[in-house]
A and B are shown apart, each in its own frame.
Chain A
Amino acid sequence: MKPRILIVDDEKEFVETLAQRLTLREYDVTTAFSGKEAIETVRGYNFDVIILDVLMPGMDGVETLGEIKKLKPLTEVIMLTGNATVETAVEGMKLGASDYLMKPCETEDLVSKVQKAYERKAEHEERIRAVKVADIMSSPRSVL
């Protein structure tokens, strides 16, 4: 199964280009152009990794991050930031973002970070599954 990725940024062209590039690299990519739209999308689908811009009109990155973490705590979020807003990115990390990227970013860097985040999430889910399986094994009734 392809890793499912959501890209959120108000720069439409940037989002679309990045989406194309990631699609070329065999990712399942969805886009959103504002915080609100992103939350709506997250509500309906499960994503593995979300790339989230810090600075957006309306709902900003940190706020959006909070909402996403409330809805889907397991989703890995990578903050996307300019030079001026590194502090905001750090704040985002404290709130549960797994990593951050400086714009403009090296493609290889981005891809490796996305990959790492995806693997981390997979591992995480794997562990949860293992716990659940162990649980079921010890007490099959718990499935019910």
Chain B
Amino acid sequence: MAFWSKIRPQFWNAQVYLSGEQQNVSYYRRIWKVAVVGITTVAVLPLVAMTFMNMNQYQNALKAELISPVTRLVSNTKRTVAHFLHERRSALRFIVEAKGFNSECSVENLSRIFIRLKNSYGGFVDLGVIDSHGVQRAYVGPYSLTGKNYHEQPWFREVIVKGVYISDVFGGFRDIPHFVIAVKQDHDDGGFSILRATIDTDRFNALISALDLRPLSDAFLINRRGILQTPSRFHGNTLEKINFPVPPITTATQVQEVKDDQERPLIRGYAYIEETPFIFVVLKQEKELMMGVAKLRRNLGLFLALSVALILLVILGAATHLVNRIYEADLTRTSAQHKIEHTNKMASIGRLAAGVAHEINNPLAIINEKGGLLKDLLSLSSELPPKDKLIGLVDSIIYSVERCSVITHRLLGFARHIDVRAETIDISQFIEEVLGFIGKEAQYRNIAVNMDVAENIPLVKSDRGRLQQVFLNVVNNAFAAVDDGGRIDISVKIESVDKISVTITDNGSGIPAENLRTVFEPFFSTKGEKGTGLGLSITYGLVQKLGGNISVESEVGKGTSFRITLPVKL
């Protein structure tokens, strides 16, 4: 709170009284708020929008950049795996299609072929020849499987139909992951024989580990039932079932964004390897890939925050400074206005003083003459003049002195009310009082002043001094407007429950329509050198200050009517 009071701008709770403008307490605060909110909106909003748009675009571009290497990786690996299998299948087919290959193949022959295969291709674990009854006639390998009957096994039937068979990876009774490639050879006698080779999956594993993946990425083969064919980093070991559904069949390489079981975004690339049960899958944590994006986002965010903070600082500073300047300008204006008001008041008093001096002069002249006559009567004639004559003279001296004192009291009453003070005023009596100042002028110039006061006019609570100034200004204007022998009507009416109105109508020259709008503006005058153009503007300000209103109607040649409404004392 102490800090706030230290940094609070001057205008925060300030209120300046300008004539014609009723300001509420939060006037400057409102200007300030509007400025701050407005400028902030137009300055910060586009910046934020731009930043987010840029961010989004960057993110999309980066993602596209991330996806293409995955696609490349998947298709390359798919091709490698397909090639690996194709090679071995072709080798086997080459063997079975060689002249003289049949179920009667001797073990020696077979082992010679096996050794050649192993040497040329590698990965072969064993090799067997199976006749059309499903019986393994010859076998070369680490186990003794000669004579084993495969007649009932599904792969045997499949190879009969398709001619070629590549199995899923399985443990088998050896419990080492491996898979089988079988090739059928039809014989001229209508029978057939099958060459069956077992290949261990180390080759697959080697292929995949050669991909050199990032720590959070994963790549593996699955079969179409979702059984892992090679070990994975995060989805279990070989022959375990993966924890996500098998991706749908496609011919081309697919890269998609998916969510893992913990709802983390993943990039999944996969490809079905043709003519095999294998699907190659690559999973990459998007987080890992989007590290660059995260960094960019952080930097952009920091930049944005700093920019916004700077902009706000500048806006706050500028707005505060500007509103303070407005406030100071208003203060200057008000003090100038006060000065002008004071000058106007002094001018009114000066004008009054001249009139009053004249009015006092008359009774003084009478006193002078009466006194002189008294002296003459006493000194010029030898005998004493009659008593009642002397008393008459003295009486009229006393009467004249009374006349003088009425005038001086009136002037004192005017001068006394320089301070602002609310008083209860009987408006008709008040107007009579004001007219008292100028009654003599009316008489000399033969101007008829009529008062028309409605019944039951309520009392008014107002500042007497200011109200005097208001009515003097308006009545003086009326006097200036009418020719000698003119007429001024003053009527007092009840306007509403809480308002009365005083209308001062003259039958003078009137105000042309084009001037009518500007009569209350400062420095507007048609009197040339003689007027300051301040009278009515000050009157307007004073009436506003007293909580009232002043308006004017006029017609050239017919006269002008000023209507002043004042609040009633409740």
Binding site for B on A (CB under 8 A): 11, 13-14, 17-18, 20-21, 24-25, 55-58, 60, 82-85, 103-105, 107
- Supply 29 A–B pairs (Cβ within 8 Å), ascending by A: A11-B365, A13-B370, A13-B400, A14-B369, A17-B366, A17-B369, A17-B372, A17-B373, A20-B373, A24-B377, A24-B380, A25-B376, A55-B444, A57-B445, A60-B444, A82-B357, A83-B354, A83-B357, A83-B361, A84-B354, A84-B358, A85-B358, A103-B364, A104-B361, A104-B364, A104-B365, A104-B367, A107-B372, A107-B376
B362 touches A14 (CB 8 A): yes
Produce 1/0 per residue, B375-391, CB < 8 A to A.
Answer: 01100100000000000
Q: Which residues of B contact A18 (CB under 8 A)?
A: 369
* Residues of B contacting A13 in the complex (Cβ-Cβ under 8 angstroms): 366, 370, 396, 400
Q: B362 contacts which of A11, A20, A21, A105 (Cβ < 8 Å)? A: A11
Say yes or no: A57-B365 contact (C-beta < 8 A), given A24-B376, A24-B377, A83-B357.
Answer: no
Given A57-B444, A84-B355, A21 and B373 touching (CB < 8 A)?
A: yes
Determine the residue in chain A with the shortest Cβ distance to B359.
Answer: A82
Given A55-B444, A57-B443, A57-B444, is A14 in contact with B373 using a C-beta cutoff of 8 Å? no
- Alpha-carbon distance between A48 and B355 when the two chains are bound, in angstroms: 33
B477 at the interface (CB under 8 A from A): no
Instruction: Give the Cβ gap from A85 to chain B, nearest Cβ, in Å.
Output: 7
CB distance from B383 to the nearest CB of A (A): 14
Query: Which 5 A-B pairs have CB atoms at the shortest separation, nearest pair first?
Result: A104-B368, A17-B369, A104-B365, A82-B361, A103-B365
Q: What is the 8 Å Cβ interface bit string for chain B, positions 492-507, against chain A (1 contact, 0 not)?
A: 0000000000000000
CB closest residue in chain B, given A59: B446
Secondary structure at the B interface, as helix, strand, loop or mixed, is: helix
Known: A17-B369, A17-B370, A21-B369. A84 touches B357 (CB 8 A): yes
Taking CB atoms, residues of chain B closer than 8 Å to A25 are 376, 380
- Cα A11 to Cα B400 with chains together (Å): 12
Q: Which residue of B lies closest to A108 (CB)?
A: B372
Residue of A nearest to B360 (CB): A82
Q: How far is the CA of A11 from the CA of B367 in the complex (A)?
A: 12
Q: Complex formed: what's the CA distance from A56 to B368 in Å? A: 20
Using an 8 Å CB-CB cutoff, how does the interface string of B179-213 with A read, 1 for contact, 0 for none?
00000000000000000000000000000000000
Instruction: Report the bound CA distance from A43 to B355 in whole Å.
Output: 33
Q: What residue of chain A has the Cβ atom nearest to residue B399's Cβ?
A: A13
B358–A55 touching, CB < 8 Å: yes
B370 surroundings in chain A (CB, below 8 A): 13, 17
CB <8 Å contact, A56 and B366: no
- Do A105 and B368 contact each other (CB < 8 Å), given the known contacts A24-B377, A60-B444? yes
Q: Which chain B residues border A85 with CB–CB below 8 Å?
A: 358
Chain B residues with CB below 8 A from A107, complex form: 372, 376
B444 contacts A56, C-beta separation under 8 Å: yes
Give the distance in Å from the alpha carbon of A82 to the alpha carbon of B445 in the complex: 17
Chain A residues whose C-beta falls within 8 Å of the C-beta of B367 in the assembled complex: 104
Residue of B nearest to A55 (CB): B444
Q: In the complex, which residues of chain A have a beta carbon less than 8 angstroms from the beta carbon of B380?
A: 24-25
- Measured in the bound complex, the distance between the Cα atoms of B365 and A103 in whole Å is 6
By a CB distance below 8 angstroms, the chain B residues around A21 are 369, 372-373, 376
| Nearest chain A residue, comparing its CB with the CB of B442 | A57
A51–chain B nearest beta-carbon distance, Å: 12
Query: Who on chain B is nearest to A13 by CB?
Result: B366
List of B residues within 8 angstroms of A83 by Cβ: 354, 357-358, 361
A18 to B371, CA, bound (A): 11
> What is the 8 Å Cβ interface bit string for chain B, positions 516-546, against chain A (1 contact, 0 not)?
0000000000000000000000000000000
A11: nearest residue on chain B (CB-CB)? B362
User: Is there an interface contact between A105 and B358, defined as CB atoms closer than 8 Å?
Assistant: no
Q: Which B residues touch A58, using CB under 8 A?
A: 446
Q: Which of B357, B361, B362, B446 contacts A57 (CB 8 A)?
A: B446
CA distance A14 to B355 in the complex (A): 19
* Cβ contacts under 8 Å, A105 to chain B: 365, 368
Whole-angstrom CA separation of A90 from B23 in the bound complex? 53
Contacts of B357 in A (CB 8 A): 82-84
Q: How far is the CB of A104 from chain B (nearest CB, A)?
A: 4
A83 to B354, CA, bound (A): 8
- Nearest CB in chain A: distance from B67 CB, A: 103
Residue of A whose beta carbon sits closest to that of B400: A13
What is the minimal beta-carbon distance from A82 to any residue of chain B, in angstroms?
4
With the chains together, A17 CA to B370 CA distance in Å?
6
Tell me which residues across on chain A come within 8 A of B364, comparing CB atoms: 103-104
Residues of B within 8 A of A57 (CB): 443-446
With the chains together, A103 CA to B355 CA distance in Å? Answer: 14
Could you give, for residues 427-448 of chain B, a 1 whenever the CB lies within 8 Å of some chain A CB and a 0 otherwise?
0000000000000000111100
- Distance, CA A103 to CA B367, complexed state (A): 11
Contacts of A14 in B (CB 8 A): 362, 365-366, 369
Residues of B within 8 A of A11 (CB): 362, 365-366
Contact residues in B for A55 (Cβ distance below 8 Å):
358, 444
Bound together, the chains give a CA A107 to CA B377 distance in angstroms of 14
Q: Which parts of B239-259 form the interface with A (CB within 8 Å)?
A: none
Most buried by A among B366, B370, B444: B366
Assembly CA distance A81 to B446 (angstroms): 19
Task: Please report the C-alpha to C-alpha distance between residue A70 and residue B355 in the assembled complex, in whole angstroms.
Answer: 31
Report Cα–Cα, A18/B373, bound state, in Å.
8
- Smallest distance from the beta carbon of B25 to chain A beta carbons, Å? 48
Cα A58 to Cα B354 in complex, Å, equals: 21
A60 to chain B, nearest CB (A): 7
CA separation between A55 and B445, bound complex, in Å? 10
Q: For B396, what are the chain A residues with a Cβ–Cβ distance below 8 Å? A: 13
**CB-CB < 8 A to A104: which residues of B?**
361, 364-365, 367-369
> Beyond A11-B362, A82-B362: 19 further Cβ-contacts under 8 Å?
A11-B366, A13-B396, A17-B366, A17-B372, A18-B369, A24-B373, A24-B380, A25-B380, A55-B358, A57-B443, A57-B444, A57-B445, A83-B357, A84-B354, A84-B358, A103-B362, A104-B364, A104-B367, A107-B376
Closest residue on chain A to residue B443 by CB atoms: A57
- What's the minimum C-beta distance from B531 to chain A, rounded to whole angstroms? 20
